[in-house]
Amino acid sequence: DAKTTQPNSMESNEEEPVHLPCNHSTISGTDYIHWYRQLPSQGPEYVIHGLTSNVNNRMASLAIAEDRKSSTLILHRATLRDAAVYYCIPGNYGGSQGNLIFGKGTKLSVKP
Amino acid sequence: DVKVTQSSRYLVKRTGEKVFLECVQDMDHENMFWYRQDPGLGLRLIYFSYDVKMKEKGDIPEGYSVSREKKERFSLILESASTNQTSMYLCASSPPGYGSPLHFGNGTRLTVT
């Protein structure tokens, strides 16, 4: 399994963009890069995932480095509701493979 | 939206009791999972199932068993609860396919005294 490095914590101001970095230098060629977040007192929530190209959805954008050894989750305008722990998870799972390894993630605080 | 419902938000049980944690999903997903979450240890996979009556051990299956009699329901059983099983338990489901997102319930906080 690829090892990930994320900052323990980050702070942002409301309505400003947030860039959450993740290093995954040992990622294999077939691993997707998944991002989940966990709000206080809730289960993790899927945010976005990608393989090689940058990806956008209604929640966020995912920028993947050309060598795939790092990625950045971009929240375009942070809201108070975005305060959560964000997990970057490289992996290639599906079907009968269920092992999604959640590390410690980055705790994002959003100031009004 | 996918809904994964865990039957209890908080549960307090005594050492030695048999404990059932129930999870139901409403999206006809093939895959279902049980994790536990502990401070400093992150989420750890206990068991998962990719079809009715099928089950696979995760990283920490000792002391647990599971049951999947219907596609929408996945139960976690603590045969004889112990204090080191005090934890947050999270159920998730997903459709098949690589990269398919997991949908989590809000968790059951179990305390064993």
Vertex B81: Cα angle to B47 and B18 (nearest 5): 85
Chain B residues interacting with chain A (CB cutoff of 8 angstroms): 4, 31, 33, 40, 42-43, 45, 48, 50, 56, 58-59, 90, 92, 94, 96-107
Beta strands in A1-112 (DSSP E): 9-13, 18-23, 32-38, 45-50, 55-56, 61-64, 70-75, 84-91, 106-111
Quick check: A45 and B104 CB within 8 A? Answer: yes
Q: How confident is the model at residue A1 (pLDDT cuts 50, 70, 90)?
A: low
Q: How confident is the model at residue B100 (pLDDT cuts 50, 70, 90)?
A: confident
Residues of B with CB below 8 A from A98's CB? 31, 33, 45, 48, 50, 56, 58
Q: Is the pLDDT of residue A82 over 80?
A: yes
pLDDT for A98: 55
Nearest to B102 by CA among B55, B43, B20: B43
Q: Which of A41, A99, A103 sits opposite B42 (nearest CB)?
A: A103
pLDDT for A62: 97
Instruction: Inform me whether the C-beta atom of residue A103 falls under 8 Å from chain B C-beta atoms.
Output: yes
- Chain pair A-B, CB pairs under 8 angstroms: 66
Nearest to B88 by CA among B107, B73, B74, B101: B107
Taking residues A48-76, what's their average pLDDT? 94
Token reading at A11:
């702070």
Q: How confident is the model at residue B96 (pLDDT cuts 50, 70, 90)?
A: confident
pLDDT for A56: 95
Residues of A with CB below 8 A from B98's CB? 32, 92-95
Quick check: B4 and A43 CB within 8 A? Answer: yes
d(CA B7, CA B14): 19
Quick check: A44 and B98 CB within 8 A? Answer: no
Q: Is the pLDDT of residue A96 over 50?
A: no
Q: Is the pLDDT of residue B32 over 60?
A: yes
Instruction: For residue range A3-59, list pLDDT tens digits in order.
Output: 889 999 999 999 999 999 999 988 888 888 999 999 988 999 999 999 998 999 999
Residues of B with CB below 8 A from A58's CB? none
- Per the model's pLDDT, the better-predicted residue between A94 and B58 turns out to be B58
Quick check: B33 and A98 CB within 8 A? Answer: yes
